[in-house]
Amino acid sequence: MKKYDVVIIGGGVIGCSIARYLSRYNVSGIVLEKHNDVGDETTCANSAIVHSGYDPLPGTKKAHFNVLGNKMMPKLCEELDVPFINNGSLTVSFSDEEDQTLLELLERAKLNNVEARIVEHDELLKLEPNLNKDCHKAILCPTCGIVSPFNLCVNLMENAMDNGFELSLNTEVLDIKKNNNYEVITNNEIYQAQVVINCCGVNSDKIASILEKVDYHVIPRKGEYYVFDHFDNNYVKHTLFMCPTKVGKGVLISPTTSLNYIIGPTNEEAEIDDKSTSASMLNELRNTAKKLIPNLPYQNNIRQFSGMRANSSIGDFVIEESKNNPGFYNLACIMSPGLASSPAIGEYVADEVAKKLGLSVNKNFNPRIRKHLRFTKMAKEEYNELIKQNPMYGHFICRCEQVTEGEIVDCIHRNCGARTVKGIKKRVRPGFGRCQGTFCESEVIKVLARELGVSEMDINYSDLGTEILKYDVKSN
């Protein structure tokens, strides 16, 4: 049995954020993640938007944590070397009825203390020339941004580990017992702790129900997306939203921090493990998206994907300590704007736990990670000097995304380092480009095997059991 002050169940962006902010205190803590990497569920399959906070109903936890998280995100991303762009959002109307909705949203923005204004038709088309000319007006929210959710989650966990937190991957929670402390029983170990924090996304209500009857439940909803290649840096500048409905924020079109474009999501109730895409839903997405931009260049489409969202039966986040089981914290139903809210949620929960346990401040806490050396961000002279010091930074593995061997090796040997092809892809982007890994994946496998000291046959794409290479042709 391993003993800690705090056990966090779930290594998505919420769990990793709590770990990072808890590491500001003198605490023994561990994150338990059932997958082979952090951030492999909702965190790696969403719209990557740092919402401004104009949309959630005033007085809700969504509104509170969204607005705070939006304000925290630029500094956090600077500290953790995470790609972030403050591009602003436009929520566009196409009818008199939707014009009225915009006015209601503008009032909501004022109540949530979010900067926003109405943009009329002519100015709107100057801001976004490719927008449908039938548009009426829009709400402009300048504080909206876009972030790399993969890097945010990984770097939060890396920083937590740099400051003393632990991580256990491939660790699935099977049961939780409460005696004087909590015993978290997993597939490979028992963990004892004074505090347990449940951040299990679409499974959070199931984990909570191990100890108590819950008055909410998670409604898994699947969203499908298109991803376009980075063909034109000015095609869309802002994140473009349609007027929201009771079901959700609807379809958006947005640039990403890697200067791709994302279109989506659809919105359908689905089984938790359903990550499929379908022709019918993608066609529905295309028909809906053309309301915003009629002639989207689908010849630039390089990928479709889907992600699962933990929609709430009560319409709000669940962020609370159990009344019946003190020291057991539930963070459930963290749907959109969960990504934008994650820094504020992490700090709030960490501070609450620190008060409960009487934790002292970690005077050696370092809020920054070691910066990544990115070829695309360097001046020519600086890059040439780097190659002299380490020739691996002159060897390109992925030409689509311009990723060098040096960058891949570095992300393997960090805290919370990559161990899989998908892990490398999420951190430094080989396989995200136009060829989708056709040319670089075999090279990534070679580098992983060499650096981890294992056979290429043992390299997984993602979870254990997803080995890519099955036979050694030369030896057969």
Q: Which residues are marked as active site?
A: 51
3-state secondary structure at position 461: coil
Do the beta carbons of residue 142 and residue 88 sit within 8 Å?
yes
In the numeric block, the tokens 């998206």 are attached to 289
Residues in the chain: 476
3-state secondary structure at position 329: strand
Question: Rounded to whole angstroms, what are the CA distances from 205 to 198, 215, 241, 368, 404?
Answer: 9, 9, 30, 33, 42
Which residues is 183 bridged to in the sheet? Answer: 177, 192
Cα separation, 98 vs 134, whole angstroms: 13
Rg (CA), the chain: 22
DSSP per residue, 68-100 = HHHHHHHHHHHHTT--EE---EEEE--SHHHHH
Residues 6 or more apart in contact with residue 455 via CB below 8 angstroms: 449
Q: Indicate the residue type of 289.
A: A
Do the beta carbons of residue 317 and residue 336 sit within 8 Å?
no
Element (H, E) at 321: strand 318-321
CB burial string 412-424: b at 16+ within 10 A, e below: bebbbbbbbbbbb
DSSP per residue, 267-303 = -EE--TT-----HHHHHHHHHHHTTT-TT--GGGEEE
Residue (of 29, 40, 143) closest to 88 by Cα position: 143
DSSP per residue, 375-418 = GGGS-HHHHHHHHHH-GGGGSEEETTTTEEHHHHHHHHSSTT--
In the chain, what is the straight-line distance between the N-terminal and C-terminal CA atoms, in Å? 45
CB burial string 27-36: b at 16+ within 10 A, e below: bebbbbbbbb
Which residues is 140 bridged to in the sheet? Answer: 90, 117
135 DSSP assignment: -
